[in-house]
Amino acid sequence: MDAIDVIRAKRDGAELTPEQIDFAVDAYTRGTIADEQMSALAMAILLNGMTRPEVARWTEAMIRSGERMDWSALDRPTTDKHSTGGVGDKITLPLAPLVAACGAAVPQLSGRGLGHTGGTLDKLESIPGWRASLSNEEMLDVLTEAGAVVCAAGTGLAPADRKLYALRDVTGTVESIPLIASSIMSKKIAEGTGALVLDVKVGSGAFMKTAADARELAETMVAIGTDHGLRTVALLTAMDRPLGNAVGNAVEVAESVEVLAGGGPSDVVELTVTLAREMLAAAGITDRDPADALADGTAMDVWRRMITAQGGDPDAPLPSAAETHQVIAPSTGVLTRLDAYGVGVAAWRLGAGRARKEDPVSFGAGVICHAKPGEKVTQGQPLLTLHADDASRFDRALEALDGAYEIGSDTSVTGLQPLVIDRIS
């Protein structure tokens, strides 16, 4: 088979055959298709799309490029969650131990942040001693001991996706929904979980800015999961404002611990419990209410075991930034808008995020939001507190926040999305 024939077929709008897809993915992974040829094919896919059978086969080819994990040795069903990412999205931290406390096993492979969106591994690595890199055997040990594990994906998991994603990142083809969906789902299916709940973010702080685009992505991923025999459901959730009050790394860990202790911001608690119920239902567990596991402390017990099993000290003080700066409310009224993207970029510029994958992050940097949209504020009160290791970062962070919040006199706030917008199964 010839790469040029495959490129021409998709360029001209044809549906690729299973043989063409298998050839393209395998040959690119082995290096017999050049980067420029795969770039051309990715652009043709971006422009012309893929049918459901094409996406399913593309995903399967990427799964077959590496290993497929197996959790059959566990004595409980497995279930997992994937978020498309946002600002203040710390949900995995309280969610994984909460679901484990209710009787499921959660083998969660997570990533690092890039740009204005935070990464779960960056947050957890702010805990002294905690390790992100585990072997498959170590993952099984932690799952057996704690019921949940959150770690980095190994190099053997869907290597075709790793290579293709790096290429898409530099060729303007990241936005292709079939390629986004197959990238996410190839790793999740290869991960070996028995059920999957997708949290697809919508709004300024999310990758998908509109509900229509988010719904298309969610429907595509649910179809891939269904076609591969994986019980899959998706929720569209709001990312027009930050999730919770803390945006950063260590500050988000601290807020997650508050949730596990029975407190924390109401939106974080609501989304955590909602996703937990979906994960447990997908795993066939219906006799435990996750809200009870937060209230009685069992979820906190699992958190402590999970962190300890990965080398972390759950009692150790978290890193804190050397410098702080407060953004003060200029008037009295109601906070009518707090833009997730502006807050996310501010946290990034303070040091909580990275511009390149190899960049370090500051564990103590970030933003604390003292008011949520719809709440009353008084002139002179703190709206936001910025945390950074270097005070010279404040000016650029403040530029990102210019126009990111509004205070009005009307007590009713219009235009805010509901926290959970839709459910797709």
Distance of alpha carbon 299 from alpha carbon 315, whole angstroms: 16
Alpha-carbon span 334 to 22, nearest angstrom: 56
Nearest to 154 by CA among 111, 195, 196, 122: 111
CA–CA distance, 176 with 188 (Å, rounded to integer): 19
Helix (H) or strand (E) holding 264: none
Torsion angle (degrees, nearest 10) of CA 152, 153, 159, 164: -50
- Distance in angstroms (rounded) separating the CA atoms of residues 117 and 113: 6
Catalytic residues: 82, 161, 168, 183, 187
Residues 6+ apart with CB under 8 A from 369: 242, 244, 245, 246, 247, 338, 343, 383, 384
CA 339 → CA 156, 249, 413, distances in Å?
A: 38, 19, 14
Tokens representing residue 80 in the block: 């997992």
Tell me the residue ranges of DSSP E strands in 45-187: 80-83, 106-110, 148-152
* Cα 210 to Cα 208: distance, rounded to the nearest angstrom: 6
Give the other-Cβ count within 10 Å of 242's Cβ.
28
Both tokens assigned to 134: 């585990």
